[in-house]
A = this chain, B = another copy of it.
Amino acid sequence: MNYQQILDTIYEEMSYRDVSGKVASYIPELARVDRKKFGMHVYCGDQENFSFGDSDECFSIQSISKVFTLAMAMRLMGEDLWDRLNVEPSGDPFNSLTQLEYENGVPRNPFINAGALVLSDILVDQLKDPKRELLDFVHKITGDTSIKYDETVAQSEKSTGYRNIALVNYIKALGNIKCDVEPIVDFYFHQCSLSMSCAQLSKAFMIFANKGRVLETGEKILKPKTVKRINALMQTCGFYDEAGEFSFQVGLPGKSGVGGGIVAIHPDNYSVAVWSPILNEKGNSELGMKALERLTTLTGVSVF
Contacts and interface: CB of A to CB of B under 8 A. Distances in A.
Interface in A240-268: 241-245, 247-248, 251, 253, 267
Given A97-B98, A101-B95, A304-B232, A245 B88 contact: yes
Most B CB contacts (10 A, CB to CB) among A93, A162, A166, A242 go to A166
B253 A244 contact: no
B98 A93 contact: no
A109 B267 CA distance: 28
Number of copies: 4
Nearest to A233: B244
Q: What secondary structure prevails in chain A residues at the interface with B? A: helix
Contacts of A102: 93-94
A94 to B, nearest CB: 5
A267 B181 CA distance: 47
A103 B93 contact: yes
A267 B88 contact: no
A304 B267 contact: yes
Interface in A249-304: 251, 253, 267, 302-304
Most B CB contacts (10 A, CB to CB) among A88, A169, A233 go to A88
Most B CB contacts (10 A, CB to CB) among A92, A99, A165, A169 go to A169
A247 B236 contact: yes
Interface in A83-134: 86-95, 97-99, 101-103, 108-109
Which interface class (under 10, 10 to 19, 20 to 34, 35 or more) fits A?
A: 35 or more
B89 A304 contact: no
A245 B237 CA distance: 11
B87 A108 contact: no
A227 interface: yes
A170 B244 CA distance: 25
Contacts of A166: 165-170, 172-173
Nearest to A177: B162
Interface in A46-89: 86-89
Nearest to A237: B244
A107 to B, nearest CB: 11
A235 interface: yes
A302 B228 contact: yes
Given A97-B98, A232-B247, A235-B303, 17 more contacts: A86-B244, A88-B242, A88-B245, A93-B102, A94-B101, A94-B102, A97-B97, A162-B169, A162-B170, A163-B170, A227-B304, A231-B304, A232-B244, A236-B244, A253-B304, A267-B304, A303-B303
